[in-house]
Amino acid sequence: MPNTSDSNNSVSDNSASSSDPEPSWTDSLSPVLWQGRIMPAFWTVASVISMSVNVILIVILVFLGRQLFTLKNLITEQLIGGLYYNFVLMDQAHITSEILVSETIQVVDTMPVVFDLPLAQNTTVTLTQDTPIKNATIILNNQPIPLDLTLRAGTPLYIGLNLTVPVSQTIPVVLDVPVDLVVSVDIPLSETELHKPFIGLQDVLSPYFWPLYNADNSWEEVPICQGSLGFICDWLLITE
């Protein structure tokens, strides 16, 4: 008679073995992280975290290294360089314009008048008082007779003038002068009070601008990437 108990036991063992779940990755990792002692487990976890952080930092540094000269050119040419060159151009700039002047200007002044006036003419003068004439000579019956005369006031005398009259006079002058013209204006800012602040702003940016301007513009120009380690730069840092 067959042994039914043995067959039943084998069936139950097979069913039990088939129902056991497969171990997960955490179960496989547990012996590595935890070996029954605290310090080895601590150092294992710390080493894993440290390596992960280092890998992340290396990736970040490689990324920044690839973008380093892009950032350098951006700062040099657009930010600091843009400010520096614009301050230089502002100091070299000129204010040019044309101003239309349309105005009436009143001139108030004095003018000296100095000249000699020649005078030659016949005129009549009237005596204002009795005028004696001594040792005068009159012609009477064709005979000269000396005597003293007195010309009464109001007596007209007919005389001829021939002389030069000096004229020296100051004449006041008041004139309204219309002015209508275009005035060209050209003011260099370097000759104004703005020159000093423009130079000061250039001096503020100069210590940052020129070192960046004279620095290398790509990894190919860096000396370490031109030697035996150049392939590392080509692989990690240089992008086409």
pLDDT, tens digit, for every residue of 194-238? 999 999 998 988 888 888 777 776 666 666 666 666 656 665 555
pLDDT at 5: 45
Q: What is the DSSP letter of 223?
A: G
Assessment of whether the complete model's pTM goes beyond 0.75? no
Cα distance between residue 207 and residue 146, in whole Å: 117
Q: DSSP string spanning 69-119?
A: HHHHHIIIIIIIHHHHHHHHHHHH-EEEEEEEEEEEEEEEEEEEEEEEEEE
pLDDT at 101: 87
Range with the largest mean pLDDT of 25-39, 45-59, 116-130: 116-130
* Mean pLDDT of the residues in the chain: 77
pLDDT at 150: 86
pLDDT at 93: 92
144 contacts: CB under 8 Å, gap ≥ 6 = 137, 138
Asked if the model's pLDDT at residue 149 lies above 60, the reply is yes
pLDDT at 231: 59
Token pair, residue 232, equals: 């590392």
Chain center to CA of 195: 8
Residue pair 177/105 in contact (Cβ under 8 Å)? The answer is yes
Residue pair 102/124 in contact (Cβ under 8 Å)? The answer is no
**Across residues 127-149, what is the average pLDDT?**
85
